[in-house]
Amino acid sequence: MDLKDLDAAAPGGVYLCQVGKAVSCGACCGLYNTAESDRDSLTAMLWRRTRRFSVIPRELDAILGFAAEIRARESQTRPYPEFHHCPYIGMIGREKSRVGCLLHPFADGNDGVDFRGISYYGGLACRTYFCSSCKCLKPDYKRILRAVADDWYAYGLIITETALVEAFFQELEDRLGRAILSRDILGHGEREALIRRLIDIRRSWPHRAVPERFGNYFFEDRKYPKPPLEVGEGDEIGTRYRVIFRELASAFSSREQLSAAVGIFDDLFEGLVNMIQDDSG
């Protein structure tokens, strides 16, 4: 895929959807809005769908029947009840190594025919909707995350977290005293690894207040806002990471937990700043 061509057509100038052999985002299709949203469970679900859809005739009744079969077979428990989960999301690409739409004209078996009009939102929405990260995040932030991500599961969780990503990079910029550029990170293995640490933190954060709401409801109607930031009685949040902790949907039950969480981000930012300043100094 030629990302330069896709960038030219994307809102905000940086394409974020299908960005690499194993990296893509299916969050707007409700990928994480499932009863079990851990990586193993989602991978197994997507592969079952992909294998089953591969033998479905590309006819209207058969394709609709596939969706009905999926709904009957899989749990319909949704952490975000008003966030549609599309039954046509599966594994795509030559090696089936990333998540995507089984109805897309480029998907296997479709012979260039666009079946997305059959989906819940219709083909127009699938072709034209872009999440707020596309429009709101600085291009360099997007280029960095797009380039360092190495896994569809973790990438989809972080790239839609507009406020979290913005707070993280703004903190880094405050410490540097200047704007962060993609060249500050990309091509530097240790720095890229620290950015991947942020991606992993989003996936594995142990202080989530509502564990079952693992995905992110990022639509503008804000029906499911992040829970208020809470700590144990007598504790105060006097840290510069307030926005980051809120966007991670955190809840701390003790000063020790809060202190440990602060230490994670202190180490992360100090490591990045030292590397970048050493290079420029």
Residue 81 clears pLDDT 70, i.e. is over it: yes
Q: Given the structure tokens 């299709």, which residue do they identify?
A: 29
pLDDT attached to residue 236: 56
Global pTM value: 0.92
* Mean pLDDT, residues 132-149: 96
pLDDT for 214 beyond 90: no
pLDDT at residue 4, rounded to an integer: 85
Closest to 160 measured CA to CA, from 123, 191, 135: 135
Altogether, the residues listed in the chain come to a count of: 281
Q: What is the DSSP string of the chain?
A: --HHHHHHHSGGG---SB-SSS-B--GGGTTT-SS--SHHHHHHHHHHHHHHHTTS-SSHHHHHHHHHHHHHHS----SSTTS---TTEEEETTTT-EEEETTSTTSTTSTT---GGGSSSHHHHHHH---HHHHHS-HHHHHHHHHH---HHHHHHHHT-HHHHHHHHHHHHHHHTS---HHHHTT-HHHHHHHHHHHHHHHH-TTBSSTT--S---STT-SSPPPPPB--TT----STTHHHHHHTTBB-SSHHHHHHHHHHHHHHHHHHHHHHHHHH-
Cβ neighbors of 34 (< 8 A, separation 6 or more) are: 41, 42, 45, 74, 75, 77, 78, 79, 85
Give the model's pLDDT for residue 127.
Answer: 75
Residue 152 pLDDT level (bands cut at 50, 70, 90): very high
Q: Is-contact 35 164, C-beta < 8 A?
A: no
Tens of pLDDT, residues 215-264: 888 888 889 888 888 665 545 555 779 899 999 999 888 888 888 999 99
Mean pLDDT score across all residues of the chain: 91
Kindly report, residue by residue over 14-39, the tens digit of the pLDDT.
Answer: 999 999 999 999 999 999 999 999 99
Place of tokens 């804000």: 222
Taking 90 as the threshold, does the pLDDT of residue 272 lie above it? yes
Mean pLDDT confidence for 251-278: 91
**What confidence score (pLDDT) does residue 281 get?**
53
Percent of the chain's residues with pLDDT above 90: 74
Check pLDDT > 90 for residue 210: no
pLDDT digits (tens, 9 = 90+) for 82-91: 999 999 999 9
Determine the pLDDT at residue 178: 96
Contact by Cβ (8 Å): 93, 21: yes
The mean per-residue pLDDT over the stretch 115-123 comes to 89
User: How far is it, in rounded angstroms, from Cα 245 to Cα 238?
Assistant: 12
pLDDT number for residue 87: 97
Say if CB 200 and CB 207 are below 8 A apart: no
- How high is the pLDDT of residue 128? 77
Which residue's structure tokens are 């469970």? 41
Please say whether the dihedral angle defined by the alpha carbons of residues 50, 22, 79 and 128, taken in this order, is positive or negative.
negative
Domain spans of the chain, in order of start: 17-129, 140-145+162-280
Mean pLDDT of 68-78: 95
Confidence of residue 43 (pLDDT cuts 50, 70, 90): very high
Query: Positive or negative CA dihedral for 209, 211, 214, 219?
Result: negative
